[in-house]
Structure 1
Amino acid sequence: MKIAVVGATGRTGRLVVGLALAAGHTVTAVARNPARLPEFATGTPLTAQADIHRPGSLHGPLAGQDAVVATLGTADRRPTTVFSDGARELTAAARAGGVRHLVTMGSAGLETSQLPFAQRMVTRLVVNRVYREVHHDLARMEAVLDASDTDWTVVRVPMLKDGPPAAHPLVSYDRPLPRAGTATRATVAAWITDHLGDPETFRRLVHLADG
C-alpha cells in the first residue's frame, strides 16, 4: 500500500512510519519540518513538507495514497483548532487525492457515560478539566469527519506512554472500554498499521488500550 503519515515527526507518528516501512508499504512521511525525522532501521520513507494550518498544503502529499494516518497533537492546553483544522484539510485532500482510508487519533476522555463510577468521576473532575480545550477540538474534529464522505477511523486512546506494544490490546468498536487505563504509543502504532484499509474500521470510533 501507499501510505502517508501526517505528523510523522511526533512520537507516535515515527512509530507508524517505522512499522509501515517494515511491513513493506511505500511510506510518505509528512511534517512541517521533515528534517526532524530520525533514521529508520527498516527503510527510508519519502518525505513531504506540509502544515495543516496552511490551506491546500496536504493536497500534493496525499494525492494517490491508499491510506493516510494523522497523528496530530498539541502540548498547549489553551484553546486550539489543530485537530478540527487538520480534519478539514485532511478530508479535503483525501477527497481530491482519491484516498481510500483516513485514520486519526482521538481521546477516550470524550465519552465517560459507560465508565465505572470512580473512573468516570476522575475523568470528569480531573482529566477533562486539564484537557478541556483539547477535548473540545477533538469533538469538533469528529464532527467534521462524520459530516464528510471519507472512510475514516478515529482511534480513541487513553493516557499515552512509552513502552513496548501490548501482546493482547483491549479493543472496542463504538463503545468505551470499561477500564481504559493507559496505552503505549507502540500499541497504538501497531494497531493502526495492522488495520490500514480494513473496512471493518471504516467510519467507526475504535477504543484502544493495553491489555
Structure 2
Amino acid sequence: MRITVFGATGGIGGHVVRQALDAGQKVTAVIRASSAFELEHPSLDVVRVPGLDSAEPLREAVDGSTAVISGVGPRGRKDGPVASRSTKSILAAMEAVGVRRFVAVSAAPIGPVPADFLNRRVIFPLINLFAADVYADLRVMEAAIMSSATDWTIVRPPKLNSRALTGHYRTEIGGTVNGGYLISRADVAHLMLSVLDNPATIGQPVGVGY
C-alpha cells in the first residue's frame, strides 16, 4: 500500500508518516516548500509543494497512491479557513488521478453532542463559543468531503495531547464517544491508519477518545 500524507510536518500527520513506515507501508509525505523535514527512510518519498491552495501541484503526490490521509488543520484562530481550502484542493487532485480512499481529521465538537454532562453542558458549548471560526471552517471541510466522490472517513478527536501511542481507545462510528475528553495525537494517527482496512468506516465520521 502507498499512502500519501498531507500535513506531514504536523502533530498528527507526523505520527501517521512514522507509524505507516514502521508498519512497512510506502509513504509519500507532502511538505510545503518552506518547511523543514529531516526524516529519511527507504520507503519514504517527499514531495514539496508551494502550498495547498491549488490542486494542480498536488496531483503528483496522490497519483498512484492507495489512500490519502490528511492531518491538515488550523493551528490557531487566526489561521483562516486552512482546513476547508486545503481539503478542497486535495479532493480535486484525487479526483483528477482517480484515487478514492480518503481519511481526514476533524474535531469532536463537529459531531453529535455526547450524553455525558461535562461535554454536553460545559466543554462543547464553550469550545463552539470561543473557537467559532475554527469549527465553522471544519464544518465547511466536512461538507466538501461528504459531497465528494471519495470513499471517505472523517476522524473526530476531542482535546489532543502529546502522550505516547497506546493503541487503546474507544471509537464510535457515526457518533461521538461518551465521556471521551482526551486523546493523544499518536493514537489519532493510529486510528486514521486503522480505518483504511475497515469498510464499515467508509462514508462515516468516527468519534474517538479514551
Q: TM-score, normalised by structure 1?
A: 0.91
1:83 Cα offset (Å): 1.3
Kept after mapping to 2: 8 A contact 1:65/1:97: no
Q: Which residue of 2 aligns with 1:47?
A: 46
Note the 1:1-211 alignment, pairs <5 A: 1-33=1-33, 36-39=36-39, 43=42, 45-50=44-49, 51-78=51-78, 80-210=80-210
CA-to-partner distance for each residue in 1:3-50, whole Å, 9 max, x for gaps?
10011011111111111111111110101137522335x655101012
In structure 2, how many angstroms separate the alpha carbons of the residues matched to 1:94 and 1:34?
23
Q: TM-score, normalised by structure 2?
A: 0.91
CA-to-partner distance for each residue in 1:54-86, whole Å, 9 max, x for gaps?
342211111111001100022231372211112
In structure 1, how many angstroms separate the alpha carbons of the residues matched to 2:204 and 2:95?
18
Runs of 4+ in 1 over 6 A off after TM superposition: none
Letter in 2 for 1:155: V
CA change 1:197–1:88 in 2 (3 A) is farther
CA change 1:78–1:112 in 2 (3 A) is farther
CA change 1:37–1:115 in 2 (3 A) is farther
**How many percent of aligned residue pairs carry the same amino acid?**
30
In structure 2, how many angstroms separate the alpha carbons of the residues matched to 1:195 and 1:14?
17
> What is the aligned length?
209
RMSD: 1.9
CA change 1:128–1:35 in 2 (3 A) is closer
Kept after mapping to 2: 8 A contact 1:77/1:134: yes
1:178 Cα offset (Å): 0.9
CA change 1:37–1:180 in 2 (3 A) is same
- After alignment, is 198-207 or 47-56 more displaced? 47-56
Letter in 2 for 1:170: R
